Chains A and B, each alone.
Chain A
Amino acid sequence: MSPKLPVIDFEKIKKVHDAPLEEFYTSGHRTCQGCESALVMRDFAKASGPRTVATGATGCMYVANTSYLTTPWIIPWMHTQLGAGGSSAIGMAAGLRALMRKGKIKKEKINVINFSGDLGGGDMGLSGISGALQSDYDLLIIMYDNESAANTDIQATGLTTYGAQTTFTPPGSKHRIMHRRWKKNVAAMLAVGHPTCRYVATASATFPALDFMNKTRKALAIGGPTFIHTFDPCPKGWDFHPAYSRELGELGIKSGIFPLYEIIDGQVVYTYDARRKGRIPVRHYLEKQGRFAHLIDEDVDYIQKQVDVMWNEWEVPGVAPFKAGLQVAAR
């Protein structure tokens, strides 16, 4: 049974060669080689085009992008505070709407976008993003998730993968694993909690090709507040050679540790259905990153088990952690 999805009227990029050539995030930044978060910037700006205003929360995508008064931004961009992603988008959207309604500026569609990191958006700014997703403004929040507070030298966040070594969670002789939190499920949490938000998605900048750009366009086209969570391999924080960024993203998705989906008007559409396509063992993903070098088989098995539960036992596999069907558990 295929669900009936609303038709989103957007300009789809069908082939790589059809992607716009024009760049709105260009030279002038000093992000690391192989930085997938930088690619998220480049792609969302390309997909949204010049009639856009953006704010960026504090983080690598602020500090490494606009160092020493330089800027890679061709579109208008403004810094916002670490936890202010959602509110910055509301402020801009509200301002523009009021000015247009009162005839103070020309009426037109202006894309309002905020990007925040996993710490800024997923931890500190969660309440503000929730506020934004409850509003009736047209806005898009992109939470670019490099799984650490990267800018402050790689500290664990609520979205860091279980077991990872970070500067706040170093393995030691007494405690092998200092990071014992399971990754926070932000996209689904926001979708579940904001039933009038019409579009929530997870994405990777590079896998499948063009997917993130098209999701950006869908989010902007459908109207109202929308949210995209991107999965961004970070060579510095994850400790791997920059040449493998794209591959790691793909492995993360194929292993099922980062589920790729859209929730459109409450309906889940898998971008990569790990149940049908089969999941590769998470080991193949973990073992390529220095941040997991201290894990022993037991730890890898634990992570694998959790991922299996996500896909095999959750009512909405990979998305929502409700189990046991629609029956309410007996007391």
Chain B
Amino acid sequence: MEDPLGVATVATASPVWEREELLNGCQAVAQGVRLADVDVIAAYPIRPYTEVMDALSKIIADGQLDAEYIIADSEHSQFEIVKHASSVGARAFGGSSGTGWMFGFEALVVAATDRLPTLFIVGNRALDDPGAFGVEHNDAMALRDMGWLLCWAATAQEALEHVLIGYRIAEDKRVLMPMALAMDGAFLTHSQHMLKVPAKEAVSRFLPAYDLGDRRLHPDNPVSIAPQVNEDWVMELRRQNWEAARRAKGVIAEAYEEFNTIFGERYPSPYFDEFMTDDAETVLLGLGAVCMPARTAVRRLREQGKKVGYINLRWFRPFPTQELRASLGRFKSVGVIDRNFAHGSPDCGGIVFQDVRSCLYPLAKRPAMVDFIGGLGGRDLSIADCIRMYDITAKAARDGAPEECVTWIGLRE
């Protein structure tokens, strides 16, 4: 960030990538944690995120990372350990999936209200009952109103890089919010990708040391943290969280710019990636690994001359209101793929749909909007499913959004 020599020297000084390696999403995240030189890790088993912790324990056992590794008695304890390690100034890491994530939820809420910039991985998993290991986004989505940074990785490479990007944004003095990095269970956590692993030296240029400053709990800094406030101060504190989330927008932009500078043009835009949208009339928007079949569907439909594109939404909190408004306003129709559900919400749609539709409301010319609930509990979302979703969305471009604007995809009926 402060490197006065900037871009030019970077490529020549030393290689920014240390090696190439075949890793799955979990192992990629573990490499990110190693490179971030995390001080405290708390683990608790639940599929599919567990393998992150498996990998980290081996990394520590082999002396590649110097960190405290604690096997907690529950997710609640796990998250509290992470939170309190962060409060004394240690860079801390945790994570979970599905029902484990919900078990520790109280601790997640206070990590945000205490403004402790820890990083958690969420290997998205359906909530019980009945049990299912597969992906569903409701676990991580439950954070959306809690003052967290929340983003989805779409590839293992992105997952690794967002551990570094995540800590940098979260720990920035203007932000100080915890960060949840979500990735689709199985489709990303356990699918292997050829990865470029960053070099330690390059990472240290990108990610400064964690410094909690005058809120660090230490005898040299005898502060009282979170005394009871009652009706007297809660409004102001909520507003401070809100301002931090607003400032995060600028910090996010800086972080990606710097990342691109050091590691090459990896991210054209922080918040979402656009695929073949230039002249598109109809786009689908989704989060996470569904981008793979969706992009393939776009290519196939393009071969048939259909003007379709795909938007892979990465950041859900803070929500890229202006950016999405500017982008989606260009299209005739937008279909949202929700790998989650918002029971009882307007039109009984998904969570992403509700936010995107609300985001576009102020536009004078709004695209027709439809929603798709699909891939719940780990059910596959295939290329054919995506093509069907494009067809329905394109029809809405011609006829306007139908009364029944939510379609369940791949449902046995």
Chain A residues at the B interface, C-beta cutoff of 8 Å: 50-53, 55, 62-63, 66-71, 73-81, 83-84, 86-92, 94-99, 101-102, 104-105, 110, 127-128, 130-131, 135
Contact = CB atoms under 8 A, between A and B. Distances in A.
Given A69-B233, A83-B76, A92-B217, A101 B224 contact: no
Contact of A52 (B84, B114, B219, B233): B219
Given A78-B87, A81-B110, A95 B225 contact: no
Contacts of B90: 94-96, 98-99
Contacts of A99: 39, 88-90
Contacts of A102: 39, 66
Contact of B68 (A55, A83, A98): A98
A92 B85 contact: yes
B127 interface: no
Q: Which residue, of B67, B74, B218, has the highest number of chain A Cβ atoms within 10 A? A: B218
B405 interface: no
Among all A-B residue pairs, the 7 with the closest Cβ atoms: A91-B84, A66-B227, A95-B90, A95-B85, A87-B77, A131-B73, A71-B224
B85 A91 contact: yes
B21 interface: no
A204 B332 CA distance: 74
B40 A94 contact: yes
Nearest to A49: B219
B107 interface: yes
A152 to B, nearest CB: 14
B68 A97 contact: yes
A87 B81 contact: yes
Given A74-B222, A76-B222, A94-B85, A68 B232 contact: yes
B106 interface: yes
Nearest to B210: A104
Given A66-B227, A79-B227, 4 more contacts: A78-B114, A79-B225, A94-B68, A95-B92
Given A76-B217, A98-B39, A105 B224 contact: no
Interface in B76-107: 76-78, 80-90, 92, 106-107
Given A101-B66, A110-B219, A95 B224 contact: no
Contacts of B39: 95, 98-99, 102, 104
B227 to A, nearest CB: 3
A127 B221 contact: no
Contacts of A86: 73, 77
Contacts, number: 159
Contacts of A50: 219, 222
A87 B70 CA distance: 10
Nearest to B227: A66
A86 B72 CA distance: 10
A259 B145 CA distance: 48
B217 A78 contact: yes
Interface of B: 39-40, 42, 66-68, 70, 72-74, 76-78, 80-90, 92, 106-107, 110, 114, 209, 217-219, 221-230, 232-233
Contacts of B42: 91
A73 B226 CA distance: 12
Nearest to A97: B68
B76 A90 contact: no
B227 A71 contact: yes
A73 B224 CA distance: 7
Nearest to A124: B76
B229 A69 contact: yes
Contact of B84 (A66, A70, A88, A135): A88
A175 to B, nearest CB: 33
19 contacts: A50-B222, A73-B222, A78-B114, A79-B225, A79-B228, A81-B76, A81-B80, A81-B106, A87-B73, A87-B78, A87-B81, A90-B70, A90-B72, A95-B39, A98-B40, A105-B89, A127-B77, A131-B72, A131-B73
Nearest to A81: B106
A89 B42 CA distance: 13
B219 A78 contact: no
Given A74-B222, A87-B72, A99-B39, A128 B88 contact: no
Contacts of A96: 88, 90
Contacts of A92: 84-85, 87-88, 217
Nearest to B89: A99
Contacts of B106: 81
B222 A75 contact: yes
A171 to B, nearest CB: 32
B411 to A, nearest CB: 39
Contacts of B70: 90, 94, 135
B218 A76 contact: yes
A79 B226 contact: yes
B76 to A, nearest CB: 6
Given A68-B228, A71-B224, A53 B218 contact: yes
Contacts of B219: 50-53, 75-76, 110
Contacts of B66: 98, 101-102
B74 A84 contact: no
Contact of B224 (A77, A83, A89, A94): A77
B269 to A, nearest CB: 35
A211 B157 CA distance: 59
Nearest to B110: A81
A78 B87 CA distance: 9
B84 A127 contact: no
A137 to B, nearest CB: 9
B30 to A, nearest CB: 17
Given A91-B85, A95-B86, A98-B67, A78 B77 contact: no
A328 B52 CA distance: 46
A92 to B, nearest CB: 5
Nearest to B218: A76
